[in-house]
Amino acid sequence: MTEQPFVEPEMGLSQAQRKRVTESQRYALMQYGYHPHSLLWSSKEVQELRFKVLADIGITKGDSVLDVGCGFGDFANYLTKHDTPVKFTGIDVSEALLAEGRRQFPELKLIHGDLFDLNPDADSYDFVTLSGALNRKFDGAVDYTYQTITEMFNASKKGIAFNLLDARHEWTKNRWDLQSFHPDEIIELVKTLSNDYEIIEGYLENDFTVHVLKKYIKSALKAY
């Protein structure tokens, strides 16, 4: 029997997946305009609650932040409103959302594409964040989620913060269109990246956030 050569898994979203995402976002934007509903959030309050938990990783004024699946770039606006302006870069596969984001926040650096299109160098940004961009179910969604988290970590100097839907919640688990995870699944991945991580729960019944800090930061703190 001939041994088959190892083939690296494809990284990033396929063209079909990108089309599905961008078409649904364009339709939502036509319906709601500049509003959290266009990002498939139920309300601004829910959107900003998730932002608060992300920012609690330790983002401080002047940090460089890459926000993956940034939508309009609202996370940058949230941080500025809370006296934490940062050097913000947002990336999203939806050009329609980015165009509206540029109208709302012309000072922001917003890039069209997938994280794997950007292919950032190691330690390119202080923090890399993601809110809601891994909630869609599609073939390969689990692998894509793991790839994205790993790439985010590689691109960060200090750490990453991201949220996911909680598979322990009955409604979320049974949605055909939503990708959810058990926190224990994600912990197993995170442990391969760093020994300094935290799972935050309780702020919403169907959501959890993960903070992962770079290992050398923990070591450096111990040196003082």
Each domain of the chain, given as residue ranges in start order, spans: 15-222
Asked if residue 106 lies in contact with residue 15, where contact means CB atoms within 8 angstroms, the answer is: no
Overall average pLDDT of the 93-99 stretch = 96
pTM: 0.90
As a dihedral over the C-alpha atoms of residue 45, residue 161, residue 179, residue 145, rounded to 10 degrees, the angle is 150
pLDDT of residue 9: 47
Categorize the per-residue pLDDT at 40 as very low, low, confident or very high, splitting at 50, 70 and 90: confident
pLDDT of residue 5: 46
The yes-or-no verdict on residue 16 having pLDDT over 90 is no
Alpha carbon distances (Å) from 170 to 21, 35, 134, 175, 207: 25, 27, 18, 9, 12
CA separation for the pair 108, 87 (Å, rounded): 9
Cβ within 8 Å of residue 35, ≥6 positions away: none
Least confident of 78-87, 107-116, 170-179, 185-194: 170-179
pLDDT of residue 10: 64
The correct CATH number of 15-222 out of 3.90.870.40, 3.40.50.150, 3.40.50.2000, 3.20.20.100 is 3.40.50.150
Q: 3-state DSSP: the chain helix, strand, coil percent, rounded to 5? A: 40, 20, 40
